[in-house]
Structure 1
């Protein structure tokens, strides 16, 4: 059959009809996933077209998947973080949805408190077990959309659920129909899609979901879940590991619109961010994330990373306020006692922190030389220099200028003889065996004792009280 595609402005041939392959034995892709070896990346050199949707957005699962990897949040903590997600996402709702558990008294209270805020975005959605009774819970809470687990790989269908593919599909479809009957939007989570038989199960199942969507008039969503982080974004990679192939196949072969597609990836092989961006580029509107990437095992795609990926791909933040990312990081550190690895991009203590003297010298001449962007403007995080044995006079001068907020002619030059005096003190410390970084308060004391005239000058310029 030929159809004219108004997006590509070409005639396209749709000759393939994918039917369920109800195999007797599970296909575990042992040539790729030999449990005793590193998973292999196969290429078939088939390239599918990039087709970025008109709109792309971020969804959040901090209070569902993210909460499975840490101690439960309190109701107050959930409400506070939800407010920050709203503020970060901006008036256009680039952070489109936020996913919640619905089972415990605490879960329900958190949902009710967040709903009372009256925010349009992030929209509150649920997550339930694949049992019909749970839909009444969703309905009672006044939630319009919920996630439903639908395991897609034979690892899960045969080895966990002890079903055949046909039995699994029939079970999942009956659950989806139950949601449609009471007017709830089902979001079908295709668990373990990167080990699933794509043309033998995933596409036929998605086609049936699309039929139900057309019959009911309710948009059934699909979340493609890279549960084990096996997805690969290289061009020409073969299924089931190809992220471009998965997204292309869902909209091209199964007819699922981009706005009903969502990618959910884990970071087991360090690919979460790259795979999420690739999903956007190949036709998926939503990418599912958690704050700080906290999630099962190695975690999910970090939401803050996709804020910047969005801006990089679209050329605009579209109203998002990235300085809120720093507020979120500080809340996790100070209020939740969560230890963010210091080298973590955007949120770690050392992400724009340099120790090397040669880097400090470059920063002193022009901050752009060694800073990724204006972190003070975009994240409310000025670039920082640590003082140690490698910092040199340039590092000390840069630290003083930043710490005391000196601008223009008031900035201290690395050639200032008082800087040399402080450097001599630093050199003595490390010559005597010190192996730790010199802290801010300690440096203030050194300036007071070694260069009192400089301290007096700095105190006057920065409204500090000289002692």
Structure 2
């Protein structure tokens, strides 16, 4: 594996959990992105690709939402994937029964816990919320499945009440408790504090479900792991409500290359997975999106291109082939002779030094006039200097 990251990373003594679980919620929270609707065919295709990656758990959906959603979750649960299949469930018996009918391996049941949500959304007191949550956990555990309890808006919940509700969930048999940073309003330092407080109070494993409203979802997830959390919720391309969730590809690659935490994922399929989700959701991946964006391995600046052609790691922290990506030299205003020459060599076109300099000059002029240097225009420029060419 060829990559080159800062050697100072190793100077910091860090301790991660011995076992880290990544549970992906692209098919549930990702689908809650406004305007996104995935059919059974699309959900199954994404689930298969997630399984090819080697994801540990897949949150396949929210079965009670519709009959089609129920069919999708059931289809995924019976596909024979290696990943554990989970479903989201409200703290209602009918929700849990619907999930059980889908043959899932487990459920994530949730209840809003902040005073803001209790008062304005649920119209419940703290005590009422406690009782509702526990009944659902107990009912699900009686059916012998994995049960996680998620406190919605946990990061804006009174700490003592949060401890109380998680402890009661633990006492009723919850296999894992989830901290939901529902509006992405916590800092990495705040997450470290919260996880440590809960770790000292609970025996149950802790998971994090982070939103990206302030661009801190990945940072908060890593901070939580270092504080003792053992599971992280992700979505492919970081999609999800509002600013989205912790991006699967960013978290995996950061852990692997920056922190030397290898979770055994088949990272060569990351770009395929990203493109599949982009296609199914009709949500274009921003060109400057970390890890999978087109621009991550595209180079235009002459100084950069010269160096990259000599040694790619001068301007790339890792080689694109690691994740199924491709490098591309882009011609434009900042291009130099070496970049243009490399592009000409791609097409097997030989030019003199004077012709090369003239082509570079014409490329710069065309781009400054607002024209993008695609293959057709590049051929036009070459022909204007050298005469008709085949490309």
TM-score (structure 1 length as normaliser): 0.74
Deviates more, 1:140-149 or 1:297-306: 140-149
Quickly say closer, same or farther: Cα 1:220–1:316, change in 2 above 3 A: closer
Tell me what 2:195 maps to.
247
Report the equivalent of 1:207: 167
Which deviates the most, 245-254 or 54-63?
Answer: 245-254
CA deviation string 1:246-295 (max 9, x = no partner):
21122211222xxx321000011110010111111111111101111111
Spell out, residue by residue over 1:416-465, the C-alpha distance to the aligned partner (whole angstroms, 9 max, x if none): 444223213224435xx612331134324444553469x6xxxxxxxxxx
1:100 alignment partner, one of 34, 43, 61: 61
SS in 2 for 1:381: coil
The alpha carbon displacement at 1:347 in A equals 1.9
Residue in 2 that maps onto 1:386: 330
Q: Provide the C-alpha distance between the structure 2 equivalents of 1:274 and 1:74, rounded to a whole number of angstroms.
A: 32
Which secondary structure state, in structure 2, belongs to the residue aligned with residue 351 of structure 1? Answer: helix
Matched, 1:189 2:150: yes
* Match among 9, 12, 17 for residue 53 of structure 1: 17
Q: Which position in structure 1 is the counterpart of 2:232? A: 287
Partners of 2:236 and 2:80 lie apart in 1 by 22
- Structure 1 residue 158: Cα displacement: 2.5
Which whole-Å CA distance do the structure 1 matches of 2:44 and 2:193 have between them?
38
Take 1:297 and 1:203, find their aligned partners in 2: how far apart are those partners?
28
**RMSD across aligned C-alpha pairs, in angstroms?**
2.6
* Alignment correspondent of 1:88: 53
Superposed counterparts of 1:13-412, under 5 Å: 52-69=16-33, 70-89=35-54, 94-103=55-64, 104-121=66-83, 123-198=84-159, 200-213=160-173, 219-234=174-189, 242-256=190-204, 260-312=205-257, 315=260, 317-334=262-279, 336-375=281-320, 377-400=321-344, 403=346
Q: Which stretches in structure 2 are left out of the alignment for 5+ residues?
A: 1-12
1:454-465 correspondence to structure 2 within 5 Å: none
Structure 1 unpaired stretches of 5+? 1-48, 214-218, 235-241, 456-465
Task: Tell me the SS of whatever aligns to 2:252.
Answer: helix
CA distance in 2, matches of 1:154, 1:334: 39
The alpha-carbon distance between structure 1 residues 364 and 209, as it changes in their structure 2 partners (threshold 3 A), is same
Which contiguous aligned blocks of 4+ residues in structure 1 show a shift greater than 6 angstroms? none
TM-score w.r.t. length of structure 2 = 0.88
Q: Indicate the structure (1 or 2) with the bigger Cα radius of gyration.
A: 1
- Count of residues paired in the alignment: 377
Structure 1 residue 83: Cα displacement: 1.0
Q: CA deviation at 1:159?
A: 2.8
Offset of residue 145 of structure 1? 1.0
Cα-to-partner distance string for 1:388-436 (whole Å, 9 max, x where unaligned): 12212133234445x55x9xxx9x89x9444223213224435xx6123
The structural deviation recorded for 1:316 is: 5.6
Is the 1:293–1:301 contact (alpha carbons within 8 Å) kept by the matching residues of 2? yes
Q: Distance in 1 between matches of 2:123 and 2:280?
A: 44
Contact 1:204 / 1:254 at 8 angstroms: preserved in 2? no
Q: Which residue of 1 aligns with 2:372?
A: 437
Using a 3 Å threshold, how does the CA distance of structure 1 residues 337 and 64 change in structure 2: closer, same or farther?
closer
Cα distance between partner residues in 1 of 2:97 and 2:278: 38
Shift of 1:369: 1.1
